[in-house]
Amino acid sequence: MEKEHQEIEQPKAVRCCDLPSNCDANQTGSVEVPATISQDNPDAGELDCGIEDPFPCKGDDAAITSTNGLSEPQGAEGEGAPASALSDGTAGEADGLSKPEGAAADEDDPPENVSDSASTDNTLEDSNEFMVTVLARGGLEDQADGTPSALSEAGGPAQGPAPSHRDEDVTAESWRRHRKHVFVLSEAGKPIYSRYGNEEALSSTMGVMMALVSFVQSGDNTIRSIYSDEHTVVFVQQGPLVLVSVSCSRQSEQQLRSELLYVYRQIVSMLTQASITRIFERKKNYDLRRLLAGSEKILDGLLNLVDSDPSFLLSAVHCLPLASSLRDSLSQILQKAITPNLVFSILIAKNQLLTIVQEKTVIEDARLEPADLHLLLNLIGASSAFQAGEIWTPICLPLFNPDCYFYAYISYLDPPECTVCLLLLSTDKEAFYAVAECKRKIDEGMRTQNALRSIARAQSYSASQVGVSDLRHFMYKPFDVPDNHRQLTQFTSPEMEAPYSSEEERMRLLDLYRYLHSRIHSSSRPLKLIYHVAERETLLAWVTSKFELYTCFSPLVTKASAINAITKLLRWIKKEEDRLFIRNPPKYSTTPNPSKSSRGGKGGSDRQDTTDNGFLSLL
């Protein structure tokens, strides 16, 4: 099959806002895209070989990115040549999919590459070899023979959520072959978490990682990433914790970094940042596993979700399509069942959001971030114990306020099936009975309206419903739902259906999306529009000031028909948006009860502080 990959870098001359005005989702007129994607790639032979192709690397070359005081990953190492080629609109894209962005290993030209890549800020050429060797000794890298392809494993067996990862033999080849390892360690080099295998058995590997981190730190620098033939190693330090991702998934450094942040935040959601900091201030070599014992499953579950659920990639919430009248009446039921200090009422079905109602003052102060909701959903999903009764647990929403706890009431509304979950968040730890009483009211409201039955009928939709042939799948994330500026960021996406019904195929499609996403969000060279012909499908990604859209077509689609299809798709979304999105998230006011917790600070976070002083001082 012919492969082609074209994309348009937003040229300085073309103002970003020109595109959206043509292609606004609200507008039903035709979308005039073609003119902007006409830059054909002249050299098809060198073009993108698709993500299925084996990674053609051998040798020990690796690039180390390190920056000093730069907040954004550069990710451009080793891309010097291709990047300039691309900005000319020429064949540079060849590397795009077959290597992670910034992967330096271009085996034709190793020496140049290494020096190239390490020269970011504080030059580290001298230490490159040293570090890579150290890492190899630590058991992370042993690819000198270069035989197995990185992708032989991509989407392969490692993906399955096998329960016994903890017992894996960390010296086995199968352990090394995992697509993405994640490690968490303390600054003192103590192991805290490993996605695969027992952290204890990995303590020497983690020690090496920490040695790397401190080695670079001693030069007043921060280690950000290491690139080798097959793996990207990304380091994130958050307070006293160091998180490391060792991945051959070919995701961008930026994506891996944001995944590590999810892991960090999930830990914070259980312990709070303040107590983590305090613990390590008191005792530098504290073994945090004591506090995280039993939470490995939650982190495992998170990492599986991060790999399989695009919500994390898009930083947006997926809500279950629902007739707007039904959604409104559910919201009203929640709106009526309130008690002092209640701040969020959330209804979830099939792991997707049904509706969310928020306290007024809270929403003025800060809004609930999708990431916080993802962490909550993961917590609920990872713990079957929730089905046992009513749960009352402290939980921190790291983006809302990393240092304080909310108290979450969690209960299923439809036992024994347990598909519809109610989540009520209060700032008052003593409020269990009052909040449980809200649930009683909600139960009653649902019963009188027969809402559970309607919810049970609700389901996601199929791409075929859009009525556009060749359109297999898409993800659409509007940036600004009218009149709801501070609303939760949402996206909509149909079920993944044939040919993406197997786990492996689904992962492959997600990998393609991840690739397009990394190009669109590349910090060095962001793109607005990408038309990407892969081996078994054709994808088109497009970002405007109003939305971000990823579409997947059958390989037979032509560029013209794809663009035509997108026009139709946007029109369809516009027509269905009341059903696909939460359009008017209602609010309620639960004036803080003055006898309790606080004198009613302005917002949830203030109130949090007063409520939780006693509690927080305990850890």
Partner 1 sequence: MAERRGKGAGEARSDPRGKSGMLRVKMVLLGSSGVGKSSLALRFSKDDFKDSAPTVGCAYLTQLVCLHDATLRFEIWDTAGQEKYHSVTPLYYRGAQAALIVYDISNRESFMRAQLWLKELEKQYVPGETVVGLVANKSDLSSSRQVSLQEGRSLAENKGLLFMETSAKSGNQVSELLLDIAHRVKLSSREDKGLAEWREADCVDMHREGRPRPLSSCCLTIGL
Least distance to partner 1, CB of residue 406, Å? 11
CA distance 342 to 302: 27
Least distance to partner 1, CB of residue 588, Å? 17
Residue identified by tokens 């990408």 is 530
Least distance to partner 1, CB of residue 593, Å? 10
CA distance 223 to 206: 15
Binding site for partner 1 (CB under 8 A): 270-271, 290-295, 297, 339, 379, 382-386, 388-395, 408, 415, 429-434, 436-437, 440, 613-615, 617-619
Least distance to partner 1, CB of residue 405, Å? 9
CA distance 558 to 536: 14
Kindly tell me which of 144 and 619 has the beta carbon lying closer to partner 1.
Answer: 619
Kindly tell me which of 135 and 292 has the beta carbon lying closer to partner 1.
Answer: 292
**Dihedrals phi, psi of 244, to nearest 5 degrees:** -130, 135
Least distance to partner 1, CB of residue 39, Å? 53
Least distance to partner 1, CB of residue 350, Å? 19
Kindly tell me which of 443 and 576 has the beta carbon lying closer to partner 1.
Answer: 443
- Chain centroid to CA 479: how far? 17
Burial 399-415 (b: 16+ CB within 10 A, else e): bbbbbbbbbbbbbbbbe
Query: Can you read off the two tokens belonging to residue 406?
Result: 């909310």
> Of 310, 303, 226, nearest to 552 (Cα)?
310
Kindly tell me which of 415 and 594 has the beta carbon lying closer to partner 1.
Answer: 415
CA distance 284 to 14: 53
Least distance to partner 1, CB of residue 619, Å? 6
Whole-number CA gyration radius for the chain: 25
Kindly tell me which of 136 and 291 has the beta carbon lying closer to partner 1.
Answer: 291
> Of 94, 45, 2, 38, nearest to 559 (Cα)?
38
Kindly tell me which of 415 and 526 has the beta carbon lying closer to partner 1.
Answer: 415
The secondary structure of residue 496, as a DSSP letter, is: P
Least distance to partner 1, CB of residue 411, Å? 9
CA distance 253 to 310: 17
Kindly tell me which of 216 and 395 has the beta carbon lying closer to partner 1.
Answer: 395
Kindly tell me which of 338 and 552 has the beta carbon lying closer to partner 1.
Answer: 338
Query: Can you read off the two tokens belonging to residue 544?
Result: 């405007």
> Of 137, 617, 615, 123, nearest to 406 (Cα)?
615
**Dihedrals phi, psi of 26, to nearest 5 degrees:** -80, -15
Least distance to partner 1, CB of residue 423, Å? 12
Kindly tell me which of 265 and 519 has the beta carbon lying closer to partner 1.
Answer: 265
Least distance to partner 1, CB of residue 431, Å? 6
| 74 Cβ contact partners less than 8 Å away, ≥ 6 residues apart | 65, 67, 102, 120, 224, 523, 524
β-pairing, 352-359 with 587-588?
A: parallel
Least distance to partner 1, CB of residue 408, Å? 8
Least distance to partner 1, CB of residue 163, Å? 11
Residue identified by tokens 């809402």 is 451
Kindly tell me which of 232 and 339 has the beta carbon lying closer to partner 1.
Answer: 339
Kindly tell me which of 1 and 293 has the beta carbon lying closer to partner 1.
Answer: 293
DSSP class per residue in 565-608? HHHHHHHHHHHHHHHHS--S--EE--PPPTTTT-S--SSHHHHH
Kindly tell me which of 252 and 339 has the beta carbon lying closer to partner 1.
Answer: 339
The secondary structure of residue 319, as a DSSP letter, is: B
Kindly tell me which of 311 and 611 has the beta carbon lying closer to partner 1.
Answer: 611
Least distance to partner 1, CB of residue 393, Å? 2
Three-class SS state of 309: coil
Strand order through the sheet with 222-228: 62-67, 222-228, 232-238, 241-247, 180-186, 191-194
Three-class SS state of 499: coil
